[in-house]
Amino acid sequence: MSTRRHFSPQQKIAALRRHLLEQVPVSQVCNELGIAPSHFYLWQKEFFENGHLAFERSNGRHAKKADDVKDTKIQTLEAKLRRKDEVLGELMEEHVALKKNLGEL
């Protein structure tokens, strides 16, 4: 019975680095990790297809703009919520006053 092993992104990169930079044969890397070569090649394919993400700036202008948009949206929603609470409070006061005038309380 075999159990599935999960490798972290750092472990996958380390395996790819050993093969690509240190010239360790794929078969040796796979034997050490206990994985099939096809699995290793899936990691390599994913790495090359998504490698551009490593070069995108997460702290650049785009990230700040996204944060600014989120902050603005949060502030707008909080203001709407405060206004809704105020309106509900006023309506409840009027409701209680009407009940008192009608003698229901």
Q: Taking CA 77 as the corner, what is the angle to CA 73 and CA 78, rounded to the nearest 5 degrees?
A: 115
Q: Which residue has the higher pLDDT, 64 or 80?
A: 80
pTM of the model: 0.51
Residue range 10-42, pLDDT digits in tens: 999 999 999 999 999 999 999 999 999 999 999
- pLDDT bucket at 1, cuts 50 / 70 / 90: very low
Can you tell me the distance from the alpha carbon of 101 to that of 6, in angstroms, rounded to the nearest whole number?
A: 70
89 pLDDT more than 90 = yes
Q: What pLDDT, on a 0 to 100 scale, did the predictor assign at position 66?
A: 73
Can you tell me the distance from the alpha carbon of 40 to that of 32, in angstroms, rounded to the nearest whole number?
A: 12
Q: Is residue 13 a contact partner of residue 19, using CB atoms and an 8 Å limit?
A: no
- Which residues touch 36 (CB under 8 Å, ≥6 apart)? 30
Q: What pLDDT, on a 0 to 100 scale, did the predictor assign at position 103?
A: 84
